[in-house]
Amino acid sequence: MSKKMNLKRSLLGSTLAAAVLGFVTVSVTNLQAQTRPSDRANPPSQNYPSLPSTDIVGAAPAQSAQSAPVHTEAPVPAPEPARVAPAAAAAPQTAAPATAGSQFRSNLYTVDKTLVSSTQVGGEYQYRLRVTALENITNISVVEHLPEGLQLVGTEPEARVSGNDLRWNWDAQSKGEVRDLLVTVRPQTEGNFVTSSSVCVDPVVVLPLFAGSPKLEIVKTGPATAELGDDVPFRITVRNTGTAIAHQVVVTDTLPDGLTSSSNLTTEVGDLPPGQSRDITVVAKASKGGELTNVASATFAEGQPVQARSVLNIVESRLGITKTGTPRTYIFKNATYQVVVRNEGNTTISNVTVTDDLPKGTSVVQTDPATEARGGRLTWTIPSLAAGQAQSYTVVLTNINPGDTVNGATATGSAITGKTLTARAEARTEWEGAPGVRTEIIDTVDPVRVGQTTTYEIQITNQGTFKPVNGQIKVTLSEQLRPISTGGDAQGTIDGQTVTFPDVLLDPRRGTKLRIEAQGVNPGSGRARLEFMSSFLDEPVIKDESTFVY
């Protein structure tokens, strides 16, 4: 190839090496083939350093031969080798294969040319061209010129053959990639043969350009169920799953009817780089029951909004309990209590436990359903209590001590939201000691003359031992007698024929003494009637005392 052509290819941005690289030189003497060192040619100045070359070493030569020169133009034929007649007595010798070669190196690629195998005239010689890319290169062209006297046997890979030229072309070769070209020839005559290789490439300058695009993904998470009136937390996560920055990202949470919030429902996230995310928490209060759909959306400058939905079921879980019982009874008698546990909500309550705490001094007579008291407590369990369902329990207690007791029952259970439900009810009972009251009324003068007086002595005694007795005393005189005055432990009130002591307190084992002075006014059989009334009595205790007036 001429220098003019080299310059033209260089101006086109290609690199041309039309150098004779490690030319294979074959000398055939006495049917012995040999190789000799190649001449070296300077490579093109553009993009190339100095051209190193490694001689090809063949079999031990029968005679020495000089290297053919290496050119950047078309190769110059080697000088005519000297013909040496074989010695008549010399025995035939077999040529050894060559082991060395030539190399051309530039900053873009290297070309190594190596003799693989050799023989003698009429035998096959094989050599290899190896192109190694030091950078990314394109439009690679290799032309191998065979001199006269070398017959082509074959190439691998197959080359395009034009006269004595073998041509290979390929589009591109990446940095570090190696391409091997094998050429097999057969010398037709004895002598030196020079093959020349021309390599032409285009350098590639790569500027990586990447065009990304942002892509937003939004996820909204929250509980599946929540209690009416409770605070419900929601978590919104917006993430850039794209390959570019998402600018001016804004997240908005749209609450449905039934959810209210004091949180900021619009959040300006700003710019969100690829792979990064932002978490936002919104707390809402459930004010309405039923299924509610909460929608969160995210917008950004480069694309369409994205949405995420969270479906929430607002339920009302409520556990109720009532307890009724005997409000008042006497000690040593029984008091009966009724406990009713009811699911007052709209969801099933599970693992319900009912406890009844026994008041101090009481003991269990009977329970229904049956259970045993442990540590002063009765316990029942309900595995599941459906909405509207109720369960009843009966407890019968007795007490040996007077006084007031409070009997409390508690129910606990688990709602479907995980919330623990608790309800409590109490019943109060007044335990009284059985009273024993004795009443007496006697007159001091009997009979009595008209105009004279007699005294009625009254004594009321609390025979009980547990509780004071509070009562009212009323004494009524017949027409034969007229009350004049009262006395004793308390003062009474006279109203016509009736004397009243309105509030008399009798301590246990204690009594009170009262007096009424009366005058005989009409002859006949007179009578004084005593009535004692107390809260523990269904009707008053009555005593009569007769006095004869004459």
Three-state SS letters, 1-24: CCHHHHHHHHHCCCEEECCCCCCC
Q: Which of 203, 226, 261 is a domain's end point?
A: 203
**What CATH number did the domain enclosing 122 receive?**
2.60.40.10
**What CATH number did the domain enclosing 399 receive?**
2.60.40.1530
DSSP one-letter code for 301:
T
Region 33-37 average pLDDT: 33
C-beta separation of 66 from 82 below 8 A = no
Residue 274 falls inside a structural domain = yes
As beta bridge partners, residue 165 has: 145, 162
Cα–Cα distances (Å) from 175 to 109, 197, 198, in that order, read 9, 22, 20
10 and 137 fall within a common domain: yes
Q: Which of 259, 286, 315 is a domain's end point?
A: 315
Q: Whole-number mean pLDDT of the chain?
A: 82
Region 152-167 average pLDDT: 96
Using DSSP bridges, classify how beta strands 32-34 and 225-227 pair: parallel, antiparallel or unpaired: unpaired
155 and 101 fall within a common domain: yes
Residue 8 main-chain phi, psi, to 5 deg: -65, -45
58 and 189 fall within a common domain: yes
409 and 458 fall within a common domain: no
Region 290-298 average pLDDT: 93
pLDDT of residue 509: 82
Residue 372 falls inside a structural domain = yes
Q: What percent of the chain has pLDDT over 70?
A: 82
421 and 361 fall within a common domain: yes
Residue 444 falls inside a structural domain = yes
Q: How does residue 467 score in pLDDT terms, banded at 50, 70 and 90?
A: confident
Residue 451 CA, chain-centre distance (Å), reads: 106
**What CATH number did the domain enclosing 545 receive?**
2.60.40.740
User: Is the confidence at residue 98, as pLDDT, over 60?
Assistant: no
Give 185-207 pLDDT, tens digit per residue.
999 998 888 899 999 998 877 78
398 and 348 fall within a common domain: yes
User: Is the confidence at residue 66, as pLDDT, over 80?
Assistant: no
Within 8 A by CB and 6+ apart from 333, the residues are: 398
Residue 510 falls inside a structural domain = yes
Give 219-256 pLDDT, tens digit per residue.
999 999 999 999 999 999 999 999 999 999 999 999 99
Q: What percent of the chain has pLDDT over 90?
A: 63
pLDDT of residue 110: 95
**Paired tokens of 363:** 């003991």
173 and 252 fall within a common domain: no
- C-alpha radius of gyration, the chain, whole number: 64
pLDDT of residue 507: 84
Distance CA 527, CA 148 (A): 176
426 and 511 fall within a common domain: no
323 and 296 fall within a common domain: no
62 and 100 fall within a common domain: yes
Looking at per-residue pLDDT, the higher value among 470 and 87 belongs to: 470
Looking at per-residue pLDDT, the higher value among 11 and 399 belongs to: 399
Please give the biggest Cα pair distance in the chain. Answer: 204
pLDDT of residue 48: 38
Region 380-386 average pLDDT: 96
**How many domains would you assign to the chain?**
4
Query: In terms of C-beta density within 10 A (0-12 exposed, 13-18 middle, 19 or more buried), how is residue 149 classed?
Result: middle
8 and 119 fall within a common domain: yes
User: Is the confidence at residue 276, as pLDDT, over 60?
Assistant: yes
User: Is the confidence at residue 513, as pLDDT, over 60?
Assistant: yes
pLDDT of residue 36: 33
Residue 103 falls inside a structural domain = yes
C-beta separation of 260 from 229 below 8 A = no
Across 56-65, 286-295, 373-382, least confident range: 56-65
236 and 368 fall within a common domain: no
Residue 253 falls inside a structural domain = yes
Give the structural domain span for 489. Answer: 437-549
Q: How does residue 101 score in pLDDT terms, banded at 50, 70 and 90?
A: low
